[in-house]
Structure 1
Amino acid sequence: MLSCSTPWSRQLPEGGWAAQSVLISGASGGIGQALVDELAGAGARLLITGRRQEALDALAARHPERVTVMAADLTRAEERRQLVERACEAGCTMLINAAGVNRVGLFESFSDAEIEALITLNLTSTLQLTRALLPQLLAADHGWVVNLGSTFGTIGYPGQAGYCATKFALRGFTQALRRELADTRVHVLHVAPRATRTGMNAPEIEAMNQALGNAMDSPQRVAHLVRRAIEAGREETQLGDPERLFARLNAIAPGLVDRALRRQLPTIRRFLARPNGEAP
């Protein structure tokens, strides 16, 4: 029989961020970099990883007493193993999965290699890293897995078919893992940013969002809201007021969203079908 009671608080325990050792993947990217600044500023000890050594070193230089760097390609098993070993040595109590890539375009233009690369980093390696670190988190007094998803993990969007596939799957994984670990001290959270101004977006994507009237957040705002979601222990967080409404509407009346997005389709095609990614 299901119980509505929870044996432990899902909020940060006494000591707050100063008591946390956090592994952040994707820390050399836009949201990841902002998360490093946000959480180091809050007092956490951080082990940060990504594929761009120079960007990681710059973050460590800003927070020399809080940040340790280990560059790694999460799609490589040996580099994941070494990263998990370092995380265990650091006593990590929280994993924030922020690594990810996007490839925006009409699905018919994707190659097999592009589809495989998208799924491998956004989904497969994220699951593999989480599984490898899980014994360490289960052994902690309190452990966290925080997965950064996307609005496109709730709303299928034209031009984002491959990315949506990975983010829908990540949301399902997060929900299943949360329920699997419900009787443990590991808290599993999912935070879904809306469109964010990062280097992952080509200029034509920002131009398209502007033409469609889609709001975009700064990485710093996203990082701040992620921190607040963790502090509050919110298991599911969708960022952005219109996006929260659209996600609910898509769940109960997807046909309405189909019709609304069909009206946007000519604009989306106009931007995404240009040669060499040129904006009109």
Structure 2
Amino acid sequence: MKSGLRAVITGAAGGIGRALAGALASRASALLLVGRDATRLAALADELVRKAPDVQIRTVTADLNTAAGRAAIVQAAEALPGGPNLLVNNAGVSELAWFEDQSDAQIERIVQTNLVAPMLLTRALLPQLHRQTQARVVNIGSILGDIGHPGSVAYCASKFALRGFTEALRRELAGSRVQLQYLAPRATRTALNSDAQNALNSELGVASDTPESVAAELLKLLDGPRAERHLGWPEKLFVRINRMLPALVDSSLAKQLPVIRRHAQQGVKP
């Protein structure tokens, strides 16, 4: 998909979302930017119009976790000239917190936002995508969708499930006009990270990427046939080790557990 993209991007006002929109504008004819902050969406739209005046930039302020919000997105996508041929499910939330300390509401919010909402939006947009000659759905996951990590239990569960959803639907739609792909960034420098998360990453020496580097990897994913793309080294190696020899990762993380627990219990409070 090298030109003529008509993309719907959720979570467009966030760090990764802004970068994804900027990268896709270079090869799109239309972008629908979705988010909950109308002011930030408008500012992004103005920026993109200046950089890519030939691209139709539209926005919709909507909460993906509500039926009304998803309906608004579907309606706005239908109005795109030619209809959408790319859905990027990027909206998500993350909380560094000890699982036993999290409230029901916190856990439900993570799973609803990171898993249920993209599933429901994808299903709602599939009729439009099927009408295209070629269309794709790209789900933005995480390295923690492959490696269960202390302090991020609910987040990991949501991203593991998102990866499973992507794989299962890809197989269900095999032979159709709609392809499913999964992009798994490692730690990324965005405002989504809490102070506790940043402190943990610093103490453990966790490498992190810029949103722009994640966006560049999205373009590579779109240009190739691969179903999944995992970012970062040695993170990609850890994914392979975790799949084949999970006990080795258990041992490694056990050594870091006191540090992780200290930061996690200073993070989000119920």
- How high is the TM-score relative to the length of structure 1? 0.91
Write the distance in 1 (CA, Å) between the matches of 2:140 and 2:195: 23
2:63 is equivalent to residue 78 of structure 1: no
- Where do 1:77-226 residues align within 5 Å? 77-90=67-80, 91-226=83-218
- Cα-to-partner distance string for 1:154-204 (whole Å, 9 max, x where unaligned): 000000000001000000000000001111111110000000011010122
Match of 2:22 in 1: 37
Distance 1:144-1:257 versus aligned 2 partners, 3 A rule: same
SS at match of 2:62: coil
Counterpart amino acid of residue 189 in structure 2:
R
Counterpart amino acid of residue 108 in structure 1:
E
Name structure 2 gaps, 5 residues minimum. Answer: none
CA shift for structure 1 position 81: 0.8
30, 33, 48: which one pairs with 1:63? Answer: 48
Write the distance in 2 (CA, Å) between the matches of 1:275 and 1:62: 34
Counterpart amino acid of residue 191 in structure 1:
L
CA shift for structure 1 position 43: 3.7
SS at match of 1:194: coil
CA shift for structure 1 position 276: 7.1
SS at match of 2:249: helix
For the aligned residue pairs, the C-alpha RMSD in angstroms reads 1.3
2:33 is equivalent to residue 48 of structure 1: yes
Write the distance in 1 (CA, Å) between the matches of 2:246 and 2:267: 32
Query: Is the contact made by 2:96 and 2:267 (CA closer than 8 Å) also made in structure 1?
Result: no
Query: Is the contact made by 2:96 and 2:268 (CA closer than 8 Å) also made in structure 1?
Result: no
Distance 1:245-1:128 versus aligned 2 partners, 3 A rule: same
Distance 1:75-1:267 versus aligned 2 partners, 3 A rule: same
Write the distance in 2 (CA, Å) between the matches of 1:261 and 1:154: 14
Write the distance in 2 (CA, Å) between the matches of 1:43 and 1:157: 37
2:248 is equivalent to residue 256 of structure 1: yes
Name structure 1 gaps, 5 residues minimum. Answer: 1-11
Moved segments of 4+, more than 4 Å: none
Write the distance in 1 (CA, Å) between the matches of 2:136 and 2:225: 10
- How high is the TM-score relative to the length of structure 2? 0.94
Task: Report sequence identity in percent.
Answer: 45
Counterpart amino acid of residue 105 in structure 2:
A
Counterpart amino acid of residue 220 in structure 2:
R
Counterpart amino acid of residue 58 in structure 2:
T
Write the distance in 2 (CA, Å) between the matches of 1:82 and 1:200: 25
Length, aligned pairs only: 262
- Cα-to-partner distance string for 1:210-253 (whole Å, 9 max, x where unaligned): 11111100111111111111111321100012111000100011
Counterpart amino acid of residue 92 in structure 1:
P
Counterpart amino acid of residue 88 in structure 1:
E
Write the distance in 2 (CA, Å) between the matches of 1:208 and 1:276: 14
